[in-house]
Amino acid sequence: MKLKYSILISFICAFVFGQNNHFAPGKEWKDTDGVHINAHGGGIIFMDGTYYWYGEFKTEGKGGNTALKGVSCYSSKDLYNWKNEGIVLKVEEDRNSEITKGCIMERPKVVFNKKTGKCVMWFHLELKGQGYDAAMAGVAISDSPKGPFTYIKSYRPNKGVWPIDFKEEFKSASANTQNLKSWTPDWLTAIQNGMLVRRDFQKGQMSRDMTVYVDDNEKAYLIHSSEDNLTLHISELTDDYLDFTQKWTRVAPAGHNEAPAIFKKDGMYYMITSGCTGWDPNEARSFKSESIWGPWESLGNPSFGKDAELTFHSQSTYIFQVQGKKDQFIFMADRWKPDNPIEGSYVWLPIIIENEKPILKWSDEWTLDDFNQKK
């Protein structure tokens, strides 16, 4: 009854004041100018009383998944109503720039570095005209959450360094793994045993779908799909968040995970990921670990109910905590529209934790008050 009342109030406010007062996953989400929010594969930070949402600025038509403008930013005080702050990291006209117009810039995530006082943005960078082969992580910096961000450089992380827990025998496994047929049990075992880590050892490890996580002790990590998207890597960042310490580990080798999103509750780390089916949705996966360095225990599909096997037609991008609310975490996901990327919508759902397992349930409409009612 209380729930229906709050939804009714939301509708009245929306109608009278043109304001959003609830989340409507998968629907058009208008910013304060009345335009559908354009911040895909996004992430959120909270600074000085304001939330900032960064994401891929998509354009119309089939080419709209390439970066023709850059990374957009929106600000909000209440998480429902978002003001467009414009493009905060712009693609460059210079054809020799790594972030030249037409490159691929995906899944931007911004974190604040308390030591340097800078906002640092990491994103998945693919060089123009090279499809997804470059598989790099780009980094940019700004004095303000509203930008402008200045592009610094790109990385293939962990060049010439083995993961912390890599078995000695994996470092020099015999070359006879090279010609294994893909997806056979032997091939999967070879991947688990580091075949692709060895392949990319000199060049640096691949970094495609990614997120950044800042821990309670201010250590930050890039969590990235690597090894041809077969294995997730967790790579520790330096204290300024601009480089890698070269300490890294692998998660779910040969598990084929993309779209990592991570949070920590009561000392336990949780991760939600997707499988790999391009722009099409698939069944999400979840993991938990007592340490960022693992071991990560697989917990299966976190979604329940209708379309749970397709993550409610969406793919994870980020998980954030409602400011000041210890137990309130929001799952952010994208409903991609590859034929007209600008139309892509957003699926935000509250995360319920039951018996150390994250749970996602569909809601046509919900408000932050629903967190209290779930207790």
Residues that bind ligand DGJ (CB under 6 A): 41, 106-107, 209, 258-259, 278-279, 315
Between 106 and 227, CB nearer to ligand DGJ = 106
How many other C-beta atoms can be found within 10 angstroms of the C-beta atom of residue 46? 17
**CB 98 to ligand DGJ: min, Å:** 17
Specify which residues 273 forms β-bridges with. 285
Cis omega before residue 148 (within 30°)? Answer: yes
CB 16 within 8 A of CB 353: no
Nearer to ligand DGJ, 131 or 324 (CB): 131
- Tell me the closest approach of the beta carbon of residue 103 to ligand DGJ, in angstroms: 13
Q: Which residue is nearest to ligand DGJ (CB)?
A: 278
Tell me how far, at minimum, the Cβ of 224 lies from ligand DGJ, in Å.
12
Q: Closer to ligand DGJ by CB, 278 or 305: give it.
A: 278
Q: What DSSP element (H or E) covers 267?
A: none
Task: Please name the amino acid found at residue 7.
Answer: I
From the number of C-beta atoms within 10 Å of its C-beta (0-12, 13-18, 19+), residue 167 rates as exposed
Q: Is 115 helix (H, G, I), strand (E, B) or coil?
A: coil
Could you count the other beta carbons within 10 Å of the beta carbon of residue 114? 10
Q: How far is the CB of 246 from ligand DGJ (least distance, A)?
A: 26
Q: Quickly list DSSP for 77-102.
A: SSSS--EEEEEEEE-BS-TTSTTBTT
Least separation, in Å, of the C-beta of 64 and ligand DGJ? 12
Report the alpha-carbon distance of residue 300 to residue 321 in Å, rounded.
Answer: 22
What is the nearest approach in angstroms of ligand DGJ to the Cβ of residue 258?
A: 5
We find the least distance from the C-beta atom of residue 282 to ligand DGJ, in angstroms, to be 10
Shortest separation between residue 304's beta carbon and ligand DGJ, angstroms: 22
CB-nearer residue toward ligand DGJ: 126 or 200: 126
- The answer to whether 258 touches 278, Cβ cutoff 8 Å, is no
> CA distances (Å), 158 to each of 87, 227, 273, in order?
30, 12, 22
Distance CA 96, CA 129 (A): 12
Residue with smaller CB distance to ligand DGJ, 166 or 279? 279
Q: CA-CA distances (angstroms) from residue 87 to 68, 128, 342?
A: 11, 19, 15
Choice between 221 and 336, CB closer to ligand DGJ: 336
The distance of closest approach from Cβ of residue 55 to ligand DGJ in the complex, given in angstroms and rounded to an integer, is 11
Q: Which is nearer to ligand DGJ, 7 or 99 (CB)?
A: 99
Q: Could you tell me if 296 and 289 are in contact, meaning their C-beta atoms sit under 8 angstroms apart? A: yes
The whole-angstrom distance between residue 296's C-alpha and the CA centroid of its chain comes to: 18
φ/ψ of 250, rounded to 5, equals -110, 145
85 versus 209: smaller Cβ distance to ligand DGJ: 209
Q: For residues 201 and 279, which CB has a smaller minimum distance to ligand DGJ in the complex?
A: 279
